[in-house]
């Protein structure tokens, strides 16, 4: 058993990432943050009608506030429910009178379709077929999440690729553990307005990007050949009930031309400044009450005090940069001239730099998973800072300093003892939120810092981590994308993770 150290406070990690709002982390907290209404429909199907009744009772039991549809309407305008309310719609519905026609927008409300019938056989499908089938179902029903109900089970399918099936008898328990987190932490596509945009800001052919760009292209070829990434799903290939719904989805995606699952990224090399033991820090820092608050901001720079093995290590959060694929590009064969962007994170803000000669207004969009990518990169920098203080010959520090690091997201799980020594698995017991949420970003940093604490405790050379996102996939960090692909493929990659794997 490895250490469960509280290295940093959750609120502090949110502040590091520029998250200013309160973020519910536990399932019970997420339930209390939710407000749900049911779209009125005339159900003749007794099975579906009973499931909806049981679902409503399970939500109430979990602590969710369930509003009547009339109450939800009073909070909105023009016969649309108020912002922030989840709308659950049983049955197939009719064009022009779907739940989506009665919400503010796909961005401000979450829509759930509850359907009679067995879900598609996702488990036996290839990743590509699973992704395509899921996208088709979601846009046809104009929902963020679809629940299929048959005689024995219910299956949830979300737009981020999470698919889970449970027995009907487990509805009460699984609503809190599985459904609530998906509703409380919905997928909201990042908009360009959320970032500081620098267009035509870097030249992909610049020699300083050569090695990392080559690694990304080689990684894309390797991950694609091994079936670890799916080709993008083009919006133009999907069937919509009418053109109005196509326009709604296009606006929701901020005019992205497609959706793709998984990402590959390279954290660019950076100087690593060694952490300072608190007793050796400046007198001003030593005088602070770090038990009450484990961070301080000076001139917009954030300084944190990590609790590792009952010692405090002071780290100044540095600027980091990541070269990664743009949202919706063909990740199996990215265009080196136009399919990569640079994310630069400094002082709580993300700067999105697009490549030279890409036309203004092009589909050069930030990844859905931008916040999680940034969180992993900042976490890597914090880890390297501590290792630089404790183990100057750390291979992890050398990699970040000289060549950079690899970050990848894969829609699968590591399952056995084959995770190499120095890599740590974490996140298995977190609520199942999607990769693009604030919760996922905080979980990724928290687990990474716990992994560092474990490496120090066990005297292991820290090499990287595998962050499990339950019912969704895994984020991996290491020296190269090809090495991460090898780690995945030496594992089975198709089965749920095992409790026997080295865990945190």
CA count, 13 A, side-chain hemisphere, 1: 3
pLDDT at position 2 is 37
pLDDT at position 496 is 34
State the Cα–Cα distance between residues 466 and 444, nearest whole angstrom. 9
pLDDT at position 464 is 96
Count of other CB atoms within 10 angstroms of residue 121: 10
What phi and psi, each to the nearest 5 degrees, are found at residue 188? -125, 110
pLDDT at position 495 is 34
What phi and psi, each to the nearest 5 degrees, are found at residue 455? -60, -40
State the Cα–Cα distance between residues 41 and 45, nearest whole angstrom. 11
425, β-bridge pairs: 466, 503
Kindly state the tokens that stand for 54. Answer: 């049981």
Total-model pTM: 0.91
What residue ranges do the domains of the chain occupy? 10-21+190-490, 34-184
Fold for domain 34-184? Answer: Rossmann fold (3.40.50)
**Residues of the chain with confidence (pLDDT) below 50:** 1-5, 361, 492-504
pLDDT at position 124 is 57
Count of other CB atoms within 10 angstroms of residue 91: 18
* Contact in structure between 484 and 404 (CB atoms under 8 Å): no
Q: What digits encode the pLDDT tens for the residues 452-461?
A: 999 999 999 9
State the Cα–Cα distance between residues 342 and 197, nearest whole angstrom. 10
Q: What digits encode the pLDDT tens for the residues 41-63?
A: 887 789 999 999 999 999 999 99
Please state the separation of Cα 331 from the chain's center in Å: 17
Please tell me the CATH code under which domain 10-21+190-490 is placed.
3.40.225
State the Cα–Cα distance between residues 155 and 158, nearest whole angstrom. 10
pLDDT at position 416 is 53
Q: Is 88 exposed, middle or buried (0-12, 13-18, 19+ CB in 10 A)?
A: buried
State the Cα–Cα distance between residues 5 and 171, nearest whole angstrom. 33
Continuous segment of H or E residues that includes residue 283: helix 283-286
The CA-based angle 401-407-412, given to 5 degrees, is: 155
């Amino acid at each position: 058993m490895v250490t469960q150290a509280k290295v940093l406070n959750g609120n502090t990690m949110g502040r590091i990432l520029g998250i200013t709002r309160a973020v519910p982390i536990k399932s019970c907290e997420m339930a209390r943050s939710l407000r749900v209404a049911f779209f009125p429909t005339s159900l003749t199907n007794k099975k579906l009608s009973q499931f909806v009744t049981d679902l409503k009772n399970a939500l109430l039991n979990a602590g969710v506030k369930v509003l009547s549809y009339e109450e939800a309407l009073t909070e909105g305008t023009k016969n649309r429910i108020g912002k922030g309310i989840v709308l659950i719609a049983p049955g197939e519905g009719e064009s022009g009178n779907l739940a989506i026609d009665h919400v503010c927008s796909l961005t401000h409300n979450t829509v759930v379709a509850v359907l009679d019938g067995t879900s598609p056989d996702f488990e036996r499908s290839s990743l590509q077929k699973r992704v395509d089938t899921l996208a088709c179902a979601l846009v046809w029903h104009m929902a963020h999440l679809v629940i299929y109900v048959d005689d024995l089970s219910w299956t949830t399918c979300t737009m981020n690729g999470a698919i889970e099936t449970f027995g009907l008898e487990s509805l009460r328990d699984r609503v809190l553990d599985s459904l609530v987190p998906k509703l409380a932490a919905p997928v909201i596509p990042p908009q360009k307005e959320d970032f500081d945009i620098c267009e035509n800001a870097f030249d992909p052919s610049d020699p300083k990007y050569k090695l990392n760009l080559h690694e990304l292209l080689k990684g894309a070829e390797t991950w694609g050949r091994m079936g670890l990434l799916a080709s993008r799903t083009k919006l133009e290939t999907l069937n919509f009930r009418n053109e109005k719904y196509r326009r709604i989805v296009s606006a929701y995606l901020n005019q992205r031309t497609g959706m793709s699952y998984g990402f590959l990224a390279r954290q660019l090399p950076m100087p690593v400044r060694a952490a300072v033991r608190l007793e050796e820090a400046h007198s001003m820092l030593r005088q602070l009450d770090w038990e009450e608050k484990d961070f301080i901001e000076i001139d917009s720079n954030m300084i944190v005090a990590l609790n590792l093995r009952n010692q405090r290590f002071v780290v100044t959060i540095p600027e980091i940069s990541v070269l990664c694929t743009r949202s919706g590009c063909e990740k199996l064969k990215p265009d080196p001239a136009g399919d990569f962007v640079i994310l630069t994170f400094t002082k709580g803000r993300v700067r999105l730099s697009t490549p030279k000669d890409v036309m203004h207004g092009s589909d050069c969009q930030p990844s859905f998973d931008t916040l999680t990518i940034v969180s992993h990169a900042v976490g890597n920098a914090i880890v390297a800072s501590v290792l630089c203080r404790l183990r100057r010959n750390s291979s992890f520090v050398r990699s970040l300093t000289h060549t950079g690091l690899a970050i990848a997201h894969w829609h699968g799980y590591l399952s056995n003892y084959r995770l190499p020594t120095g890599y740590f698995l974490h996140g298995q017991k977190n609520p199942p939120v999607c990769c693009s949420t604030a919760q996922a970003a905080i979980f990724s940093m928290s687990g990474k810092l716990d992994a560092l604490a474990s490496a120090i405790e066990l005297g292991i050379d820290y090499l990287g981590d595998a962050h499990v996102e339950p019912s969704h996939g895994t984020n991996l960090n290491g020296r190269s994308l090809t090495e991460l692909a090898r780690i995945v493929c030496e594992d089975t990659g198709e089965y749920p993770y095992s409790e026997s794997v080295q865990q945190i």
